[in-house]
Structure 1
Amino acid sequence: MSTEIRNEQTQNRYTITLDDELVGFTDYRIVGRSIVFTRTEVDPRRRNNGVAGQLVQYALDDVRTGDLAVVPQCTFVSQWIDGHPDYQELVDRG
């Protein structure tokens, strides 16, 4: 099974595909020097397989390469960061 995660900048979302099928995304918007994660959705058939976690980790690792602060309005992103303290510094950049 091949997994691909990428930043679809023109759509302001990170997407995850499994075997060329879109199975999830996390939407964001850029506000000043912050990236606001607003919503994360995963195909119900793919939940409980760690897909959303993979997606959010990829997105946050991508953000880490720049200087934007993360604003986790999305409940899933917020809870994921709470469970992974090494990503908390992204929220504190602001």
Structure 2
Amino acid sequence: MTSVRDNKAKSRFELDIDGNIAFANYRATPLAVIITHTETPAALRGRGIGSELVKGALELIRGEGRKVAAGCSFVADYLRDHPENRDIMA
């Protein structure tokens, strides 16, 4: 099982799958972690990797006691489709 990690040096959450890295760039503010862009390599698309990445990122954000804001449409759609995350939405 792979897990999402917070690469603080690059301000992005990362998920390694089959030698490829899916990532979600973010900007941390005093109020929230704003996920600004998600990218899944072409070789990984269509397998739910983007959703796995966002889910893991939200777990990390929740674990730090932070809030999240969607800065890209993929994350906005994920949050809309997963109302169990409303407690950490900024």
TM-score by length of structure 2 reads 0.90
What CA distance in whole angstroms lies between the structure 2 residues aligned with 1:15 and 1:56? Answer: 10
2:11 equivalent in structure 1: 12
What CA distance in whole angstroms lies between the structure 2 residues aligned with 1:4 and 1:73? Answer: 22
Alpha-carbon RMSD across the aligned residues, in angstroms, is 1.4
Aligned-pair CA distance for 1:32: 1.2
The 5 Å alignment of 1:27-66 reads 27-66=25-64
Q: How many residues align?
A: 90
The structure richer in strand per residue is 1
- Secondary structure in 1 aligned to 2:58? helix
What CA distance in whole angstroms lies between the structure 2 residues aligned with 1:18 and 1:46? Answer: 8
- Secondary structure in 2 aligned to 1:10? coil
What CA distance in whole angstroms lies between the structure 2 residues aligned with 1:22 and 1:38? Answer: 20
Q: Which structure is larger by alpha-carbon Rg, 1 or 2?
A: 1
What CA distance in whole angstroms lies between the structure 2 residues aligned with 1:35 and 1:12? Answer: 10
Identity %: 26
Aligned-pair CA distance for 1:66: 2.2
Cα deviation per residue 1:72-93 (whole Å; 9 max; x = unaligned)?
01111110011011012211xx
TM-score by length of structure 1 reads 0.87
Query: Any unmatched runs of 5+ in structure 1?
Result: none
What CA distance in whole angstroms lies between the structure 1 residues aligned with 2:84 and 2:67? Answer: 14
Letter in 2 for 1:10: A
The structure 1 segments of at least 4 consecutive aligned residues displaced by more than 3 Å after TM superposition are none
Query: Any unmatched runs of 5+ in structure 2?
Result: none
